[in-house]
Amino acid sequence: MKKYASLWLDYKAKKNNRDCGCLGSISISGAGESDIRVQNAVRELKNGLKAMLDIEPEIVFGSAGSHTGAVGSSSGLSDGSAAGSLNGQSILDNEEYRITLEKDGLAIEANSGRGILYAAFDILRCISCERSLKETYASGKTVRPSNPLRMLNHWDNMDGTIERGYSGRSFFYVDNEIVIDERTVDYARLIASVGINAVVINNVNVKDAASYMITDRYYDKLAKLGEVFAGYGIGLYLSLNYASTIEIGGLDSADPLDPEVIAWWKDKMAEVFERIPTLKGFLVKADSEGRPGPFTYGRTQADGANMLADIVKEYGGIIIWRCFVYNCKQDWRHTKTDRARSGYDNFMPMDGDYHDNVILQIKNGPMDFQIREPVSPLLGGLKKTNQMLEVQIAQEYTGQQIDVCYLIPMFKEILGFKTYCSEKDDTVADIISGKTFGSRFSGIAAVTNTGNDFNWTGNYLAGANLFGFGRLGFDTDLTSEQIAEEFIKMTISDDPGVVDVIMGILLPSRAVYEKYSAPLGIGWMVQPATHYGCSVDGYEYDRWGTYHRADHLGLGVDRTDKGTGYALLYNEPNASVYNSPDECPDELVLFFHHLPYTHKLHSGKTVIQHIYDSHFEGYEEAKQMAAKWENLKDKLDSEIFYNVSKRFERQLANAREWCDQVNSYFFRKSGIPDEKGRQIW
């Protein structure tokens, strides 16, 4: 009996193995057999090829340059120097690889064990997706990941709960102990196979036992976990309690400029890096939602981040500092206070002050992972600071792994957003890849959606977000369609008819969720605290800074020059476009403007008619997605079929509730009937 699903590493037998004959041997060069990552790559290749094709090609080790198109200028691979290193310690080694078709097999070349590992997964993916090996590798395939850091952030607590977790409990922790078992290794395999190279293993809200991670209590287990990760090219990171000096150190301050505080951290970090040799750095949530931070001492975020960064630099460590800093005790009556501004206002003034081993981690939007937000103006605002994009695949506000919501199309939009921060290479993808400003430490992080459920992600289809996040972070040019197709073929079924149907469910699912939930970029009409399901006024008179400001005449938040001024934080022409109700894209118009219900959108519809139409459509389209799934009953493994089918039942109830509550609410506020005379309550 399997304890958990193998997902895309299931390696089912392939019937259509038309060109496996070319796989007499696989030669590997550029990293030796003694490298644990190479050993893992070889094991994976052998197991996968045996299971899928029933072949056992010879694995031959050669020196770099022993094959056609060898490492170096002729192969197009860059030299072996570390992509990002501090004090001689490599944080991110060269991850490039090349796969070439040879007379009797394939040749893998790379400059590091990580490159070999990724090449092995490339070959296995090719076979698993029933692509032709010959066509794929005939003219040689050289791959270099798009982003230096491709990271998962776990919000796992040491008591085994997961903040915003919708797929069971943590597989890292049980009762405040760290668990390392077979599942830990399979987790590392799964995420390495899609290119993840860094993991933060604990919740950014560091409390209780987690504050003691940097003490003798957990060092041995963490060292062991770090080794498992390292075998799959994954760097281990911890979330850090900013006030550790007080909470575990016995000091009465966490002032980043206090010599006693600095001395405590110096001793602590010396101990931590000695006891956990594979540790790569820390993620810090400070001055946010009740967490302590430098503001308490009248210091800046840069003061806090730099103090820690200077200390960990000696060990080659980095500090990832979150920009999710805002006032969560706002007065809803203050219409000029704007939570959307807070990240920018708190971090922009110190652009250039952050030291070179600090990375600012920026949520994709200025609020908090809503189904539709503009891109944070910090991305494209900051020009002299290492930056990393933070997205969330945990679907806290986007259906909680009950409702199907394939997020890759949303991530593609964000990555493709033109910030106008420079003459060229100005998209978010350019910035976080390091291309725009030449930063060595940058990349993309996702709040992960994993837990100890049999299928890891609650809903099998939510696995597409885990798979897709990794694939997209590794290769930003992949399309949402390519990623969905790979996921389905590798995880669910390679029957072309089934693949088509599931593509037809995944691809529009984000748009469908958006239609039946909060309209036109306004967001937040959710049940407070749980964040699942509709409650139009749930946050309206609360302290969290998340309002729709609806009255009998209209709705939306005025973030223009006449309102909070947020629209002007963007580079031109984005600022002018967002500032104008006529130019602002429909999907964001209520994020930026307070408008009458009768305002005409670019679509030609009024705001109120758009609300009615999109909600009825969203519910209808959710029903169609569910019906498509039901038709697959005889073609799917029953565990997968029933898992998703039951969730669709809940999604339909949710969509219906959203549709009826939102439509009724705005009909009652506005008194304007639906042009099509449909039932509104």
155 touches ligand GCV (CB under 6 A): yes
Output the DSSP codes for 464-481: HHHHHHHHHHH-TT--HH
285 touches ligand GCV (CB under 6 A): yes
Residue 289 CB, nearest distance to ligand GCV (Å)?
6
Number of residues binding to ligand GCV, judged by CB under 6 A: 11
The yes-or-no answer on residue 396 being catalytic is yes
Site mask, ligand GCV, residues 198-217, x = CB under 6 A? -----xxx------------
Distance CA 328, CA 339 (A): 8
| Interaction residues for ligand GCV, span 304-333 (CB under 6 A) | 324
Residue 214 CB, nearest distance to ligand GCV (Å)?
19
- CB nearer to ligand GCV: give 237 or 641: 237
| Interaction residues for ligand GCV, span 11-70 (CB under 6 A) | none
Contact 100, 62 (CB under 8 A): no
Q: Tokens for 77?
A: 């691979």
- CB nearer to ligand GCV: give 164 or 600: 164
- CB nearer to ligand GCV: give 44 or 396: 396
Residue 290 CB, nearest distance to ligand GCV (Å)?
10
* C-alpha atoms less than 13 angstroms from C-alpha of 485 in its C-beta half-sphere: 12
- CB nearer to ligand GCV: give 315 or 591: 591
Q: Tokens for 662?
A: 């939102």
423 phi and psi, to 5 degrees? -60, -40
- CB nearer to ligand GCV: give 397 or 648: 397
- CB nearer to ligand GCV: give 325 or 502: 325
Distance CA 572, CA 583 (A): 13
Contact 268, 276 (CB under 8 A): no
- CB nearer to ligand GCV: give 172 or 324: 324
- CB nearer to ligand GCV: give 544 or 641: 544
H or E element at residue 100: strand 97-102
356 touches ligand GCV (CB under 6 A): no
Distance CA 480, CA 438 (A): 27
Out of 104, 289, 500, 582, the active site residue is 289
Residue 245 CB, nearest distance to ligand GCV (Å)?
21
Contact 526, 538 (CB under 8 A): yes
Residue 324 CB, nearest distance to ligand GCV (Å)?
5
Output the DSSP codes for 546-597: ------SSEE----STTTT-GGGGSPTTHHHHHH-TTTS-GGGHHHH--EET
Distance CA 315, CA 462 (A): 37
Residue 204 CB, nearest distance to ligand GCV (Å)?
5
* C-alpha atoms less than 13 angstroms from C-alpha of 386 in its C-beta half-sphere: 25
The angle at the Cα of 377, spanning 375 to 379, to the nearest 5 degrees, equals 80
Contact 184, 171 (CB under 8 A): yes
SS3 content of the chain, % helix, strand, coil (to 5): 40, 15, 45
Residue 627 CB, nearest distance to ligand GCV (Å)?
33
163 touches ligand GCV (CB under 6 A): yes
405 touches ligand GCV (CB under 6 A): no
Distance CA 614, CA 605 (A): 11
161 touches ligand GCV (CB under 6 A): no
Out of 122, 156, 396, 613, the active site residue is 396
Residue 360 CB, nearest distance to ligand GCV (Å)?
14
The angle at the Cα of 64, spanning 60 to 67, to the nearest 5 degrees, equals 65
The yes-or-no answer on residue 368 being catalytic is yes
- CB nearer to ligand GCV: give 394 or 655: 394
Please report, as a single letter, which amino acid is at residue 630. E
Out of 109, 287, 368, 390, the active site residue is 368
- CB nearer to ligand GCV: give 324 or 629: 324
- CB nearer to ligand GCV: give 280 or 339: 339
164 touches ligand GCV (CB under 6 A): yes
Number of separate helices (H) and strands (E) present in the chain? 18, 19
Residue 64 CB, nearest distance to ligand GCV (Å)?
43
Residue 207 CB, nearest distance to ligand GCV (Å)?
11
Q: Tokens for 668?
A: 């009652």
Give the burial string for 247-264 (b: 16+ CB within 10 Å, else e).
bbbebebbbbebeebbeb
Output the DSSP codes for 107-172: EEEESSHHHHHHHHHHHHHHHHTT--HHHHHTT-EEE--S-SEEEEE--B-TTS-BTT--SSS-SS
Please report, as a single letter, which amino acid is at residue 194. V
Residue 450 CB, nearest distance to ligand GCV (Å)?
15
**Any residues with CB less than 8 A from the CB of 137 and at least 6 apart, and which?**
99, 100, 101, 106, 126
Q: How far apart, in Å, are the Cα atoms of 444 and each of 302, 471, 491?
A: 21, 12, 24
| Interaction residues for ligand GCV, span 361-400 (CB under 6 A) | 368, 396
Site mask, ligand GCV, residues 286-305, x = CB under 6 A? ---x----------------
Residues that bind ligand GCV (CB under 6 A): 155, 163-164, 203-205, 285, 289, 324, 368, 396
Which residue numbers are catalytic?
A: 289, 368, 396
